[in-house]
Structure 1
Amino acid sequence: MKIIIYMAAVLFITNAVANERPDFELATYNAPPYQFIENKVIKGITVSTVQCIFHKLNKKISIDFYPLKRSLRELARNNISGVFPISPDDKTYMNTSTPISIEKWYWLTNFPLADQNNAKGFNKKLIGAVNGSPAHNWLLKNKFSVAVSVTTREQLLNMFIAGRVDAIIIDDNEANRDIEFHQMIRSVEHNWQFIKFESHHFAFSDEVLNENINIVEQFNENIPSCNPLSLRLSHNEQQLLINYLTPYLEKLSHYLNATAHPTKLSDVFSAQELTTLDKLWQTQAKQQDGSLYNFITTSQLSVFLSQLQNDSKGAVTEIIAIDNGGYTIGLSKDTTDLFQGDEPQFLNTFPGGAGTFYISDIKYDASTQVFQSQVSFALAYQTADADKTVNKDSKNERRDNSLSNNDLSVAVVTFGVNVEKVIQASNNNSMLAIKQ
């Protein structure tokens, strides 16, 4: 009897322990402010994001600190369930999420920079890095010679201030939050130059993927609510984008002045039709066919916008022309919604009148894997004369009448911009010093 009771007690304890075991055992590494230990508790921005996501997935997790290289080895052996954050350079397999955090890398040097991505430009300069960090790995991959390796960011910064290293990589997200950092570097000669956006991802083990087929998709779906990724542009970076887009805006204005177009979608569709246009657009956009879809995408204006985008060689990711009712009347690539009147690009420009502009924060587009910002302008132009059109049906007569008015024909033009590509091009061309 005692044996039976003893066995029952052991079984109960074993089941209790099993019930308390986490569903996923995860590894991360020390990299403040994203991951760090405070009062023996692992905390940080990225840690909070991961905890939030797994909470929404109703999964229990445990998180331990590992050196990054070791954690990747343990992941490959299926000894742990996941590792975060890992950089694109570490993504040797496809078990990774979309970004859970984004860093904005700059060179911080005590000498002027000619080409930030050319290792030859650092000849005889001492480069320092935190050993095993994403920046350290990137330097080695790109054939930079790392003269000094340290264990913490504080050590690295102190060595730069003391003149013991000439160049280090700084995450501007971190630097912008740290007043002490800016106070420390004031006393020494320093130069800034943008390098790249560094996206960080969550990686699952093969075993987890086999047992949880849709776990990556489910994880990705919850990232926006747990950490809506975005980066703010500095004043100089905003001016850089405006300077870059000015020639495109001038070409578009010239084209609109010289060509007859519907002033707005209400000149073509009735008020009743407008109430259902968005649903109709979404249906036809999926099919890539239909009267409304073809009217918008095959118009002369859309063809012109597509050509403008192509001319940018990837720097411009999309162009949308929006009428003064908030409806898209021309585009270079399909949009999810035809009505843009309730979006920031319209609400922050159109009420201010011609010349008003709005620049969004930088966001990661998972479909294109591009870090982009939307730059929107309220645009006024002299409409074409009615006698430039020749069609005489009733709808075209309405277009002709509207075109003879000197009103705002295209209320807003929105450019999607590959910010990384534009800033890197400006560095190479010495167009503008990015950092103030």
Structure 2
Amino acid sequence: MLKYIVQLALIVGMAAMSERAVAKDLLRLATHDAYPYHYIENGSVKGTVIRQIKCAFNRLETPYRAEFSDWVDVELRLRTGNLDGIFAVAQSEARSEFGQVSVAVAAKHLYWYFAGNKIDIETTNPLYQRYKVAAEFGSDEWLDLKRKSYNVRMKPRNARALVQLLLSHEVDAILLDEHEFEHEIAKLRLQDTVFSRTEHGTIDLGVLFSKAFLNDRPTFLDAFNTAVSNCIVPNSGSQ
């Protein structure tokens, strides 16, 4: 988990609002560190999804605050009513019980990565459970691996820890977004190291708003979907 919380710099319209109105209407969001979608670099908040979120709330003239924590923490806080929304996550049957996901603001391109030769790690292989695999703990892909009875024992809290498991051969394969993998490998200066990979699939990600919040503001999701759909930004890591 990140040891600090960073607030997005832009809070729309707050200068024109009273403190009481701000406290009442401030939309509480949280996210996690995931390059290039939402991340912290040299003390600055960056990412393609960050830019879309800022643009959408500008259009809606809605004051908000977004904090950084980890996957498990932000979803728990949404479930318990301490947040109005979290991003960027995928829709799932479990999440539909307590929230609803917006239109897509990003898409994860997931690959299986191997430190050596490729392994047939898909569930179509009768022996897939013999291999030790890992994904970011609490992420959509980690939960999916658990549901499919993969041999998942490790609980890495971020992409760096996940890649380290692969490098140290503590697992046979990791499941990670290609941009996150390449970013971590670059930070470790391992661009010349040869890794094998197999494409796993793509997951659309949106903003998950709690049902409690949407019940109080029944027209909000449609308005947000329209606003954020008009705020598409290039898929790059720049702010």
Q: Report the TM-score, using the length of structure 1 for normalisation.
A: 0.44
Matches within 5 A, 1:31-430: 31-38=34-41, 40-89=43-92, 91-93=95-97, 95-109=100-114, 110-114=116-120, 116-118=122-124, 120-175=126-181, 180=186, 184=190, 186-188=192-194, 190-227=195-232
Q: CA deviation at 1:26?
A: 0.8
**Maintained 8 Å contact 2:48/2:235:** no
Q: Distance in 2 between matches of 1:164 and 1:135?
A: 19
SS in 2 for 1:184: coil
Q: Distance in 2 between matches of 1:198 and 1:56?
A: 26
- Aligned partner letter, 2:160: E
Q: Distance in 1 between matches of 2:198 and 2:52?
A: 29
Q: CA deviation at 1:215?
A: 1.2
- Relative distance call for 1:173 and 1:40 in structure 2 (3 A) is closer
Q: Distance in 1 between matches of 2:158 and 2:121?
A: 27
Q: Distance in 1 between matches of 2:169 and 2:19?
A: 54
CA deviation digits over 1:356-377, x for unaligned, max 9? xxxxxxxxxxxxxxxxxxxxxx
- Relative distance call for 1:65 and 1:118 in structure 2 (3 A) is farther
Higher relative contact order (CA 8 A, sep 6+): 2
Q: Distance in 2 between matches of 1:228 and 1:144?
A: 35
- Relative distance call for 1:43 and 1:119 in structure 2 (3 A) is farther
Q: Distance in 2 between matches of 1:143 and 1:98?
A: 29
Q: Distance in 2 between matches of 1:119 and 1:50?
A: 40
Structure 2 residues without counterparts, runs of 5 or longer: 1-16
Q: Which has the larger radius of gyration?
A: 1
**Maintained 8 Å contact 1:42/1:63:** no
- Aligned partner letter, 2:199: F
Q: CA deviation at 1:56?
A: 0.8
What is the aligned partner in structure 2 of residue 17 from structure 1? 19
- Aligned partner letter, 2:84: S
CA deviation digits over 1:271-319, x for unaligned, max 9? xxxxxxxxxxxxxxxxxxxxxxxxxxxxxxxxxxxxxxxxxxxxxxxxx
Q: Distance in 1 between matches of 2:183 and 2:177?
A: 10
SS in 2 for 1:163: coil
Q: CA deviation at 1:20?
A: 4.1
SS in 2 for 1:148: coil
- Relative distance call for 1:73 and 1:117 in structure 2 (3 A) is same
Q: Distance in 1 between matches of 2:45 and 2:80?
A: 24
**Maintained 8 Å contact 2:35/2:179:** no
**Maintained 8 Å contact 2:118/2:198:** no
- Relative distance call for 1:157 and 1:68 in structure 2 (3 A) is closer
Task: Choose between structure 1 and 2: higher helix proportion.
Answer: 1
- Relative distance call for 1:230 and 1:91 in structure 2 (3 A) is farther
Q: RMSD across aligned C-alpha pairs, in angstroms?
A: 3.0
- Aligned partner letter, 2:161: Q
Q: Distance in 2 between matches of 1:40 and 1:182?
A: 19
- Aligned partner letter, 2:118: P
- Relative distance call for 1:150 and 1:33 in structure 2 (3 A) is same
Structure 1 residues without counterparts, runs of 5 or longer: 1-14, 232-436
Q: Moved runs in structure 1, 4+ residues, more than 6 A?
A: none
Q: Report the TM-score, using the length of structure 2 for normalisation.
A: 0.76
Q: Distance in 2 between matches of 1:32 and 1:140?
A: 24
SS in 2 for 1:32: coil
**Maintained 8 Å contact 1:102/1:197:** yes
- % identical equivalent positions: 20
